Amino acid sequence: KKAFSYIRMSSARQLQGDSFARQLELSEAFAAKHDLELDTSLRDLGVSAFDGSNVEEGALSVFLAKAKAGEIPQGSFLLVESLDRLSRGKVIDALRIFLDILRAGITIATVGDEYIFSQESVGQDWTQLIISLAVMSRAHEESARKSQRLRSSWVRKRENKNQKMTARCPSWLILSKDKIGFSIVTERAAIVERIFKELAAGVGRDAIARRLNRDGIKPWGGGRQWHGGTVQKVTDNEAVIGRFQPKNTRKDVQAGRVKTIRS
């Protein structure tokens, strides 16, 4: 029989830890123990199960659609570390996902504790539903508490009118230690001034980038060298004349991975 290892992590910080390796190793051990052919391509990395992104747009949504369409062989296994990898939503929503998978003829195995759930096993032993509901309820409560703490933190920041809410600012500025205002980073401000002087003198952006690289001036933001596009981000930014430039950030799930889009 075939087994699909579903690996999900909701944050970049988890990607840097051992969560991925742990989930994969548990799935591999379970598949070997039960003589299952393992598919490890089912991954939602940086995708939330609290807001349902993995079910609505992530790799799990694709798997569910294929299972319902009969494209996944009945009797196949879906391997997860625990049920909270599938959903951290409200219990009634999490239960729907759980039952949808079982109704499609897929067996769910939690490789962390080796519980196995199928239509037959749940039908014969209703206490399995109690176990799954308890796990799902705890997962939702944990995520809800984290979400509430985060919202409360931002509320407190907004209420404190004397301090800036975030350290995010133009690259030639830096938040002061008391968080009341921003200070100019002299070296970077000089680079910005140089860019505008050369642009005003008729030097093109690509040529300006080459000159900065030639002089050994490193760009900010993690890039290795300057490019015409990097220079343009400076010259076209109205923040250089003191105009506030609000940033909107949204996340788009593509092929099981989260892409951050800023505008």
**Inter-CA distances, 172 with 84, 200, 205, 240, Å:** 43, 20, 19, 9
Select from 62, 10, 14, 18 the least CA-distant residue to 258.
10
Catalytic residue among 5, 10, 48, 87: 10
Cα 132 → chain centroid: 25
**Calpha distance 182→105 (Å, rounded):** 59
Select from 63, 64, 106, 113 the least CA-distant residue to 84.
113
10 annotated active-site: yes
Length of the chain counted residue by residue: 263
- Token code pair at residue 8: 């999900």
CB 110 within 8 A of CB 58: no
Q: Which residues are catalytic?
A: 10
